Amino acid sequence: AIVDLVAMPHGRRPFRVHIDPSDDGAAIVNGVADRVRAQLLERIGLADLLHPKP
């Protein structure tokens, strides 16, 4: 799985990869945090930080 991530082209890698064998809900919490972070960056005019430059 890690080899596949490293082999992904620039700009296609996910920001975070969830490895949660206990299934304790970390993926859900991180998804909410990502959404809130994106909304904040858009509000303060820094949405360009959400995506890598080519």
Q: What is the pLDDT of residues 24-49, one digit of tens each?
A: 888 899 899 999 999 999 999 999 99
- Whether 10 is covered by a domain: the verdict is no
- Whether 36 is covered by a domain: the verdict is yes
Average pLDDT, the chain: 89
- Whether 40 is covered by a domain: the verdict is yes
How many helices (H) and strands (E) are present in the chain, helices listed first? 2, 0
CA 39 to chain centre: 14
C-beta of residue 11 within 8 angstroms of C-beta of residue 3: no
> What is the number of structural domains in the chain?
1
Q: Which residue has the higher pLDDT, 44 or 53?
A: 44
Burial of 30 (0-12, 13-18, 19+ CB in 10 A): middle
Residue 43: give the domain boundaries.
Answer: 24-54
pLDDT at 1 over 80: no
